[in-house]
């Protein structure tokens, strides 16, 4: 049993794809004794972390474009349509993710201030505007930010 556990762990460490295929094969066959549970549990938990990171990234991008639209006046004429399209795109992607995992909306609400702060810093870098040119608190709550008809 110890040797089987060590061989599974080494497969996880040496060939992740093969480990996944073998794990699926064992699960489908109901051969639960052969499943590397320790690494499988970590992988399942990591799925949630990946979804959270993806949603945070999309919301950061959404806030970036909302801030550009509202505050980067010197580029508005040239980029307004592009920014609006990107805003719509990020909203749609976020909504698709939240449709699959509605509980992650709570995560976004909890992280909203930090995500907004990241977006503020990033827009400051690209626009040449000072971070202090943007409000310190989010320009909208999560419902407004995700509302298809809301623009600053």
Question: HEC string of 111-134?
Answer: HHHHHHHHHHHHHHHHHCCCHHHC
Is 58 among the domain residues? yes
Range of the domain at 24: 1-35
C-beta pairs of 92-96 under 8 Å, 24+ apart in sequence = 93/58, 94/55, 94/58, 94/59, 94/62, 94/146, 95/146
Q: What is the mean pLDDT of residues 87-107?
A: 97
Is 54 among the domain residues? yes
pLDDT band at 49 (very low <50, low <70, confident <90, very high): very high
User: Minimal CA–CA distance to 42: which of 70, 13, 63?
Assistant: 13
pTM of the entire predicted model: 0.84
Is 62 among the domain residues? yes
Is 23 among the domain residues? yes
Distance between CA atoms of residues 71 and 32, nearest Å: 57
Is 70 among the domain residues? yes
19, 67: one domain = no
């Amino acid at each position: 049993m110890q040797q089987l556990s060590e061989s599974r762990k080494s497969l996880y460490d040496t060939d992740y794809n093969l480990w996944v295929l073998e794990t699926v094969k064992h699960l489908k066959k109901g051969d639960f004794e052969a499943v590397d549970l320790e690494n499988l549990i970590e992988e399942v938990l990591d799925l949630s972390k990946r979804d959270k990171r993806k949603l945070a990234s999309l919301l950061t991008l959404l806030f970036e474009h909302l801030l550009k639209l509202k505050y980067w006046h010197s580029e508005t004429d040239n980029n307004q349509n592009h920014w609006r399209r990107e805003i719509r795109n990020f909203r749609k992607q976020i909504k698709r993710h939240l449709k699959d995992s509605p509980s992650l909306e709570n995560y976004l609400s909890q992280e909203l201030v930090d995500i907004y702060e990241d977006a503020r810093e990033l827009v400051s870098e690209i626009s040449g505007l000072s971070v202090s040119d943007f409000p310190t608190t989010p320009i909208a709550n999560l419902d407004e930010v995700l509302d298809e008809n809301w623009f600053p």
